[in-house]
Structure 1
Amino acid sequence: MSQDTEIPQYFHEAVRSMTEAEVRSGIQITEIRPPRNLAPLSHAVGLEVLHTDENSGETTIAADSSGHDAFGRLILLHDPSSEEHWRDPISDQHLPKMRMVAYIQADMDASVASDPLLPDVAWDWLTEQLDGPDCTFTDLGGTVTSTASVRYGEIGGPPRAFQLEMRASWTAHGAELSAHVTAFSHVLANVAGMPPEGVAAPRFGGNQSRQAMQR
């Protein structure tokens, strides 16, 4: 964030709410360095899907035994000089609008990645989570991309790899952003193919993703 920008108290509250947000079990949240020069004030958190090593039983953020991985980034951007505000009908206060920028990348099995409905379903996961009672937002937009990569010659990795990428942004109303982070963690869990909480560990991008798409 810019050294010349005075940081208002509500932005401190927004950062605190993101950092202290509860995320879905099986996901780890940490503060990360936000991209530079996108806004006078910014903050970012990284969300990583945890994996349990089949041999040691230890939990790590490394890829699982099949080489699948999934992670997300959620960035808060704000310009205090902006004239855009939102009036809270309950308190009658004019609260700041802040822009949330989200990114998810997840490895997929070929059977899931080839499903033509995958982008639509993944976007539905995002809208359903943000439509919860505690997320107040407008101006949601973004893209979902399903890609296939084929490796040739002397390069490491599987011969064929499939990934899903989601890029989205929306305007959050007010400084309480914990619900946005919580919602985002559930979207990441769905994209990563994690089973419902309390069920055995998933195989990322595999049958669990297909079952989630069918729910």
Structure 2
Amino acid sequence: MRGVMFSEQSTIPPSRDGRADDEALPADFSAAVESLYHARLRDELSLGTIRPPQRLAPYSHAVGLEVDRGENPDDPQTDSDGDAFGRLILLHDPQAEEAWDGSMRLVAYIQADMDDEVASDPLLPDVAWQWLTEGLDNLEAGHTNLGGTVTSTSSMRFGEIGGPPRAHQLEMRASWTATGTDLSAHVEAFADVLAHVAGLPPEGVRTLGAH
């Protein structure tokens, strides 16, 4: 898929920003990175390590999530057949307690193609943001200082250009401070938002005739 390129980095990457590779990583950061991979995700979502942005914090790690829609005719239909992907970046700065209200900051990004019916809903940005806030609360993912934006855009193609004549896209950018080092619930809440905006049906729902 075009959205996320998974890398071959190990679960805990080497040190960043010019530090020696054998320099010990902070225990809290190492535990937080490990917990990212303990999240329980639905079958249609895949998670992998991606390259984090540099110089945003002394320590960083990033994961990417993609939607695998599959080609099985018995699979349930989705509300959208477009691309959908997400990135979740963990930043750790032991000196950022005051600015972040903690030392662990999560930065989230989601992009998804939407169909005409969903994109025409003027409340779509509000609903998408509610999916995130309710997901974090329902999964008891302790957090503070949550903020972000949700953008819904439409574009039309003219002339000799490939693709559908009209396209709709939703983007979510959010960040929050985690209050602990177990971030599995944070990944699960983020993954639920991605599933929603990708139009995946509730887990366990099958189409008529599916076995």
Pick the aligned partner of 1:3 from 15, 18, 40. 18
User: For residue 82 of structure 2, what is the aligned residue in structure 1?
Assistant: 68
Residue segments in structure 1 that go unaligned for 5+ positions in a row: 59-63, 88-95, 202-215
User: For residue 126 of structure 1, what is the aligned residue in structure 2?
Assistant: 132
User: For residue 80 of structure 1, what is the aligned residue in structure 2?
Assistant: 94
What pairs with 1:3-42 in structure 2 (closer than 5 Å)? 3-4=18-19, 7-42=25-60
Distance in 2 (CA, whole Å) between partners of 1:145 and 1:86 is 24
Residues 19, 31 of structure 1: 8 Å contact kept: no
> How far did 1:19 drift?
2.1
Distance in 2 (CA, whole Å) between partners of 1:86 and 1:33 is 23
More moved, 44-53 vs 3-12: 3-12
Confirm or deny that 1:162 pairs with 2:168.
Answer: yes
Residues 100, 177 of structure 2: 8 Å contact kept: no
What pairs with 1:1-215 in structure 2 (closer than 5 Å)? 1-4=16-19, 7-54=25-72, 68-84=82-98, 97-200=103-206
1:179/1:116 CA distance change after superposition, 3 Å: same
Residue segments in structure 2 that go unaligned for 5+ positions in a row: 1-15
Which residue identity lines up with residue 112 of structure 1 in the other structure?
Answer: V
> How far did 1:190 drift?
0.8
Residues 146, 162 of structure 1: 8 Å contact kept: yes
**Partner of 1:21: helix, strand, or coil?**
coil
Which residue identity lines up with residue 35 of structure 1 in the other structure?
Answer: P
TM-score (norm: length of structure 1)? 0.78
1:3/1:20 CA distance change after superposition, 3 Å: farther
> How far did 1:148 drift?
0.4
1:10/1:85 CA distance change after superposition, 3 Å: farther
TM-score (norm: length of structure 2)? 0.80
**Partner of 1:72: helix, strand, or coil?**
strand
Distance in 2 (CA, whole Å) between partners of 1:168 and 1:99 is 11
Distance in 2 (CA, whole Å) between partners of 1:178 and 1:54 is 29
Distance in 2 (CA, whole Å) between partners of 1:48 and 1:76 is 18
> How far did 1:175 drift?
1.1
> How far did 1:53 drift?
1.3
Which residue identity lines up with residue 147 of structure 1 in the other structure?
Answer: T
Q: May I ask how many residue pairs the two structures share in their alignment? A: 186
Distance in 2 (CA, whole Å) between partners of 1:152 and 1:133 is 45
Which residue identity lines up with residue 168 of structure 2 in the other structure?
Answer: F
